[in-house]
Amino acid sequence: MFFLGIILFNLNGILAQDTIVKRDNARIICKIKEILVDEIKYQPKDNNIIVGIDKNEVLKVILSTGVVMNFQNTMTDKESYKDQKKNAIKFRLLSPLYQYSDFTYERSLKPGSSIECSIGIIGLGEHYGDKLNGISLRLGYKFIKSPNFYLKGIRYAHLLKGMYFRPEIATSFYTKNSNNIFATAVLFNIGNQWIFNDMFLVDLYLGLGYGYSSEDSFNIQYGYSTGASSFPLAISSGFRLGFLIK
């Protein structure tokens, strides 16, 4: 009975082990001591020291009771940004000077990514002799730059703030002095967006790409510009102001 008791005690000690599963799928067999805000403290198997591990390195913890606790990386966890506004309405400040008015809606999809939809009303703005009537549409996916290095608990200052890369498709349909014109472009924009007090924003960007226009000449397409078929370059740039909404 004495030896049986020792065996059962040791067996219970083996079975009562917790498991930490790291994000690279490596497993640490241990005894969890504490789960803190940004750290997990544990005692390794066959060792009396207490070790700490950053929670951002941990995928999940499997307790000896069978309870499984999943963890998210602070940087990519949506809960880290639950109090921030995730939508924005923007206006291209100088667009009325080019005989159109441009409005953009941006929505955060997840930390580090958002989608933008823009509409330009051609003919709504200052007129310089040309009779214009039409519309321009743009759709882009924004990749927001992450930090160059990571620290414990680091996250984006704001979901919509920072330098970004935005591939974009643009199309314009309009009449100019009774001529029907169609233009389209694929653009690759680089820019930076500043957020102020989770209320206002400033967005500045520049882009290059490939474009086509039925005019077959270099021309402003209201939101971007295209070259002739012999040089199908497309250019975009913008300075936008806006406000954030829930």
pLDDT at 9: 45
CATH fold label, 17-72: SH3 type barrels. (2.30.30)
pLDDT at 152: 59
pLDDT at 148: 63
Q: Where are the domains of the chain?
A: 17-72, 80-245
What is the pTM for the complete model shown?
Answer: 0.75
User: pLDDT tens digit string along 155-207?
Assistant: 778 999 999 999 999 999 999 888 899 999 999 999 999 999 999 999 999 99
**What is the rounded distance in angstroms from the CA atom of residue 232 to the CA atom of residue 29?**
60
pLDDT at 99: 86
**What is the rounded distance in angstroms from the CA atom of residue 223 to the CA atom of residue 193?**
18
CA distances from 203 to 160, 196, 235, 236, 242 (A): 10, 12, 17, 13, 8
CATH class entry, domain 80-245 = mainly beta
pLDDT at 237: 93
Query: pLDDT 10s per residue in the chain (246 long)?
Result: 555 444 444 544 555 689 999 988 999 999 998 988 788 999 998 888 999 998 888 989 999 888 899 887 777 777 778 889 999 999 998 888 888 899 999 999 999 999 999 999 998 866 667 788 999 999 999 999 987 655 556 677 899 999 999 999 999 999 988 889 999 999 999 999 999 999 999 999 999 999 999 988 888 899 999 998 888 999 999 999 999 998
**What is the rounded distance in angstroms from the CA atom of residue 146 to the CA atom of residue 115?**
17
